[in-house]
């Protein structure tokens, strides 16, 4: 389902949260579909079940999944995920623009790069 990067400096549970919310935002994980069980997920990724549990706890707290006792965890409405993903993306874009300005990069240069990127994607 997801792949962990061992060399990533961030804690594993944070990596999991990022990758899972991303899957939700991209609608690969759809509303009300079941999440893997804590145990099987831990096995699959060869990590400690505690770590999976922690990721699930955070995801539930943030409203990305909901848990039914005795049945498991399920994807909540992923509209939320999409919205928040977009917001955080825009936040990153903002801080990136600020760094760009500090380095004397013009607005035009930034926009041209964006257009380039979208252009390359179309082909």
Partner DNA sequence: GTGGTCTAGACCACG
Partner DNA sequence: GTGGTCTAGACCACC
Binding site for DNA (CB under 7 A): 11-14, 35, 37-40, 47-51, 53-54, 56-57, 60, 67, 69-73
The answer to whether residues 46 and 106 touch, using CB atoms and an 8 Å cutoff, is no
Per-residue CA distances from 25 to 8, 36, 54, 78 (Å): 22, 18, 21, 6
- 8-state DSSP, 47: S
Closest approach of Cβ 54 to DNA, in Å?
Answer: 6
Q: Which does 53 bind (CB under 5 to 8 A by kind): a copy of itself, DNA, none?
A: DNA
CA distance linking residue 100 with residue 24, whole number of Å: 31
- Contacting positions for a copy of itself (CB under 8 A): 6-7, 9, 11, 22, 25-26, 61, 66-69, 82, 85-86, 89-90, 92-94, 96-105, 107, 110-111, 113-115, 117-118, 121
């Amino acid at each position: 389902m997801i792949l962990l990067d061992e060399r990533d400096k961030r804690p594993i549970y944070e990596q999991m949260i990022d990758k899972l919310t991303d899957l939700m935002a991209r609608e690969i994980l759809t509303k009300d579909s079941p999440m893997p069980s804590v145990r099987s997920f831990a096995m699959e990724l060869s990590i400690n079940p505690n770590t999976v549990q922690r990721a699930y706890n955070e995801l539930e707290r943030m409203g990305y999944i909901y848990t039914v006792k005795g049945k498991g965890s399920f994807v909540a409405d992923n509209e939320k995920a999409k919205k928040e993903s977009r917001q955080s993306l825009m936040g990153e874009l903002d801080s990136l623009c600020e760094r760009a300005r500090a380095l004397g990069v013009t607005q035009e240069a930034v926009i041209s790069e964006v257009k380039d990127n979208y252009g390359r994607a179309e082909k």
